[in-house]
Structures are given as structure tokens and as C-alpha cells.
Chains A and B, each alone.
Chain A
Amino acid sequence: MSGKRTFGRFLRENAVILLFLIVTVLAIRPSGLSLVYIGQEMITRLGRDSFLVLALLLPIYAGMGLNFGMTLGAMAGQFGLIMAVNYNLLGVYGLVFAALISLPVSLLMGYICGVVLNKAKGREMVTGYILAFFINGVYQFVVLYLMGSVIPVRSRAIVLSRGYGIRNTLNLDGVRQTLDTMLALRVGPFVLPIATFLVIAALCGFIIWFKKTKLGQDMRAVGHDMHVAESAGVPVDRTRIIAIIISTVLATVGQIIFLQNMGNMATYNAHDQTSFFAVAAILVGGASVKKATIPNVFIGVCLLHVLFVVSPGAGQKLFGEAMIGEYFRQFIGYGVIALSLVLYAWRSRREAERLREGLRGGAAAEGGGK
């Protein structure tokens, strides 16, 4: 009986990850792709996306849910990359320059986001999502109208022919895969981007260390119960703002790492789905709105991206059209987010009911005792 209950609990707690694992395993064979190819793609995408997904952890610790406002950081990163291309900065220096230029912008964006989210406590996720739309408008205004007219742009190759505004697509040849190829190591049929993995490992180390600091402990206290933390003297609003600022800055660096791997940048919509895919990945990895760990990030990135790799092939084979697989990606992304949120709400409700019943039972027992 107890084993059955434990198994049921395991299934409930890992429903998303198990469902995803089953769909992925089933899709591998019809895709017709070799395991070596899938493995290499997974390694590449692990380097490309992990940093962005790790940026989501701190706001979850602080009880702010999934930070859809990380798109603000992604936009700041893109601004830095535009500047690096504008000044023709190459290699790792180009990436560092982009990060240095975008850092003040992302700090400001993170602060704005944190202040706004503090005014919408309990509705952080949807507020972050809408805030990203608003700041997207500001970004479009800056990049489409101010760059080249107010903000000087010296490279004519990136400016629209009308004389101001940045072109739709930027070629990042100067910084393309510089981090990935800096310390590339071949192990059997696989090429490992060691430098990228080291950067990701450093971030993991930072997160583990940060959780042990006073600020990290404050963040967890705020995430556990804001009112209790406030009563204990933790500056709740300030702590939440710091969590969002760090997340935004990490998203900035993550977007730079992501785009250097891609090698080109869709100036006006590269950031559109940054938060969406990062959130989908961490949820697939077994995280929830309230709880996430570093292993969730890596499991999620691997699973989500393996499915992304195999789904076009599987769609072609099963339905005779590769586009079905492409639609499948979107469907899976949104579906996973929806399923996770529904499961989370269902679990919270059950937990509340269980506690209520426990209290009633306790009260009844006390009453009976009297």
C-alpha cells in the first residue's frame, strides 16, 4: 500500500519530465537521426542554452516564480552585441566588450523590472511577460530609430540604407562561436565546447555559493514566506529587486553566449522567445514555479532540445510533412508551460486541502480529547 502510494506520488511529482521523456524516446526512432548526431546536437545546445536557463533560478528561490522578464536582459545583451559589431570587435574580446557595454543597461532594466514586480506581488509571471512586451517597444524604438540618428553608428554595413536604424539581421562573424571553439575538445565522435562549459560551471558554482551567503539565505526566506521574512527583519522588496537584477544580468550574458553560438542575430525578434524556451526547459527538467535546482536546468535543456532536434524528422516520417514537427515544437513549448502551471496549481490546492483536513482532524482530536 505504502509502495503504491510512493509510486503514485513519484508519478505526480515528475509527471512533466516523465511525459516528456516518453514522447522524446518515442520520437527518436521515426526521426531517422543517428544517436551520434543527436548526442552532438545535445552537447551544442547544452552549451548554448544552459546559461540562459540558469538565470531563472534566483527569482524562483526568491519566490518570484519564472522570470519572464529575463527578455529585458536578452535585449540588453543584443544591444551590446550590436555595439561590438558596430566597432568591429572580434573574438572573445568582442564578447567581453558586448557584455561590458550591456551590463549597465541590464542593471537598469533589472532594477525597473524588480520595482515593477514588487508592485505586482503574487502576479510576477504575467507582469514580467507584459513588461517584456513594453520594453520590447522601447528596444525597437532605440534600435530602429535612435541608432544611426542619435546614437552614432559607424559601420555602414549594419545600418539600413535610409541612414538610421539597424538591419533586420546582423552577421556576427567576428564573434561567431569564439567561446565554443576556444577550448574545443574532441572525445570520440563528439566535440565538447570546454570553454563554454567552464563558464556554465562557474555560474553553477556562483549559484551554489550565493545560496549560502546572507543575501542568498534572505532570498530563500523571502521565497518561503514574505511576511515571516519581513517580520524577521529581511528587507523583502530590496531582496526581490536584487534577485531580479542578478537574473537580468545573467540573462544578458546568456543571450550573448546564445547568439555567439548561432552566429547571426535577428535584431528585432531574437529575444522574443528567449524567456519562453528557457522557462519551458526548466519546467521540462522537473522544476516548478516554487522549486528549482541546477540539475533541473540540465535535464530540461537536454530533454527539450533532443525533442526539438528529432521532432521535424519524426513529423516528416509520421505525417509526411516536416512542418508538422516545427509546429510540434511550439505546441510542446506552450504545452509544457501550461501543463506545469496546471499541475502546480492542482498540487498547491491538494496541499492546502490536506493541511485544512489535518487541522480539522487535529481540532477534532483535541475536541474529542476534551
Chain B
Amino acid sequence: MSGTVPDPKVKTRRLLVRLCLLAVYAGLIALVFHLGKGHTLILDNMDAQDGSVKAIESLSVSVDGQEPLDLNAGERDQAKVQGQGHRLEITVKDGQKVEKRITVPLSEDTLLVSLPRLLAGVQPAVTVFVPLEAPAPAEDQGNSNAFTSPSAPAEPEPAAPAKPPAP
């Protein structure tokens, strides 16, 4: 307003302060992301595929002080958790209580926790869970311009990739 040219030193300092503020803002987002990231733990009480450990006949497990989940051999259940470090309290059938701590990777949403492996100290007890590919539901396609009645024949499916001829 006054028409004076700001001192270059002041300009540089101002720029630095602004950059610092931006960095603090980005850091705050990163911190909130780190603390608030949710994960789904699939608690698995099954025999290991390589046969290294056997499922436990009956156990109950509590994740981060949540309601305990009872699991028999061959069963799975899930717990929703927040953050990366978690405490698992496992009570096996004979009343023996074991406390284990696990760390989950930040980038993964769903992880498979093999309780028999965890109890036996066999690594890796925590692995990334890969869900089976299921076809997406047909509704909610965003195609609200289709003026067909429910009884009308369905639109043709997109062409499937060609299969090699049977021998």
C-alpha cells in the first residue's frame, strides 16, 4: 500500500517462514495419518499350510483390550484396530494367558495374524491378507440413465477374454 519495496532479507525470511509452515502442515497430516490409520486384523486359528504349526483346540484372544474373541481350531475372526502397534492377549484352553505384541505395516489395510505361529514364535506370524477376487455388485454403477424396467432383459455382459480352444 505504501509503495515501498520490501527488503530482500525480509522477503527471504517471509518465504522461509511460509515454507516452514507448509512443512509443519504436511507433518501434521502425516502424524494424523500415522495415528489414525485403521487396520483389520484377521485372527486365524488354523494349521499352517506348510505344516509347521498346528491349530490350537480352543483359545480366546483380545486385541488392545477389546472384547475377547473365542476361536476353536480351524476358525477365524476379525478385529478392527487403529495405529501400528498392538497388544494381543491370548488365553488358551488350559487358562494359560500369553501377551504378544505385533506391529502392522502402515500401508496395509487387512492383515492375517496366525495365532498358532504367534504362540509358537514362528515367523512370519503376521502376513498381508489377500482377499479372493469377487465379482462387483451389479447395482450402483452410476448409470442412472438406463430406462429399462426390472423385467426387461439384462444388458449383455462385456465380452470375456477369449479362452484357448480345448485340446
Q: Shortest Cβ distance from B105 into chain A, in angstroms?
A: 13
Question: Does residue B25 face the partner (Cβ distance < 8 Å to A)?
Answer: yes
Contacts of B35 in A (CB 8 A): 93
Q: Is the CB of A162 within 8 A of B36?
A: no
Q: Is the CB of B32 within 8 A of A96?
A: yes
Q: Shortest Cβ distance from A266 into chain B, in angstroms?
A: 13
In chain B, positions 42-96 with a C-beta closer than 8 Å to chain A are: 80, 82
Docked CA distance A93–B38 (Å): 10
Q: How many A-B residue pairs have CB under 8 A?
A: 54
Residue of A nearest to B137 (CB): A161
Known A-B contacts: A88-B38, A93-B32, A174-B38. Give 8 more (CB < 8 A). Answer: A92-B36, A93-B35, A97-B32, A97-B33, A97-B36, A144-B142, A160-B141, A161-B140
Which listed residue, B29, B36, B140, B141, touches A94 by the CB 8 Å rule?
B36
Residue of A nearest to B142 (CB): A160
Q: Is the CB of A89 within 8 A of B140?
A: no
Which listed residue, B29, B36, B37, touches A101 by the CB 8 Å rule?
B29
Q: Shortest Cβ distance from B157 into chain A, in angstroms?
A: 13
Contacts of A325 in B (CB 8 A): none
Question: Does residue A90 face the partner (Cβ distance < 8 Å to B)?
Answer: yes
Report if A90-B142 is in contact (Cβ < 8 Å); known contacts: A101-B29, A174-B38: no
Q: Is the CB of A91 within 8 A of B36?
A: yes
Q: Is the CB of A162 within 8 A of B32?
A: no
Q: Shortest Cβ distance from A274 into chain B, in angstroms?
A: 23
Residue of A nearest to B143 (CB): A162
Question: Does residue B109 face the partner (Cβ distance < 8 Å to A)?
Answer: yes
Against A, the Cβ 8 Å flags (1 = close, 0 = not) of B127-141 are 000000000111011
Question: Does residue B28 face the partner (Cβ distance < 8 Å to A)?
Answer: yes
Contacts of B37 in A (CB 8 A): 87-90
Residue of B nearest to A174 (CB): B38
Q: Is the CB of B140 within 8 A of A168?
A: yes
Docked CA distance A92–B35 (Å): 10
Report if A90-B38 is in contact (Cβ < 8 Å); known contacts: A162-B142, A168-B140: yes
Residue among B25, B28, B82 facing the most chain A CB atoms (10 A cut-off): B82
Report if A87-B140 is in contact (Cβ < 8 Å); known contacts: A93-B82, A100-B25, A174-B38: no
A: residues with CB less than 8 A from B are 87-94, 96-97, 100-101, 144, 155, 160-162, 165, 167-168, 174
Number of interface residues of B (CB under 8 A): 19
Report if A91-B82 is in contact (Cβ < 8 Å); known contacts: A162-B141, A165-B142: yes
Contacts of A161 in B (CB 8 A): 136-138, 140-141
Q: Is the CB of B33 within 8 A of A87?
A: yes
Docked CA distance A168–B29 (Å): 27
What would 27 A/B residue contacts be, using CB atoms closer than 8 Å? A87-B33, A88-B37, A88-B38, A89-B33, A89-B36, A89-B37, A90-B36, A93-B33, A93-B36, A94-B36, A96-B32, A96-B36, A97-B29, A97-B33, A100-B25, A100-B29, A100-B32, A101-B29, A144-B142, A160-B140, A161-B136, A161-B137, A161-B141, A162-B141, A165-B142, A168-B140, A168-B142
Docked CA distance A97–B82 (Å): 14
Contacts of B140 in A (CB 8 A): 160-161, 167-168
Q: Which 9 A-B pairs give the minimum distances between C-beta atoms?
A: A93-B36, A161-B136, A90-B38, A89-B36, A88-B38, A97-B32, A90-B82, A160-B142, A100-B29
Docked CA distance A101–B32 (Å): 11
Residue of A nearest to B135 (CB): A161
Q: Shortest Cβ distance from A141 into chain B, in angstroms?
A: 13
Q: Shortest Cβ distance from B65 into chain A, in angstroms?
A: 15
Contacts of B137 in A (CB 8 A): 161
Contacts of B39 in A (CB 8 A): 88
Contacts of B33 in A (CB 8 A): 87, 89, 93, 97
Residue among A90, A92, A144 facing the most chain B CB atoms (10 A cut-off): A90
Q: Is the CB of B141 within 8 A of A90?
A: no
Q: Is the CB of B38 within 8 A of A89?
A: yes
Residue among B28, B36, B137 facing the most chain A CB atoms (10 A cut-off): B36
Contacts of A168 in B (CB 8 A): 140, 142
Which listed residue, A88, A91, A92, A167, touches B109 by the CB 8 Å rule?
A88
Contacts of B32 in A (CB 8 A): 89, 93, 96-97, 100
Docked CA distance A168–B140 (Å): 7
Q: Shortest Cβ distance from A137 into chain B, in angstroms?
A: 16
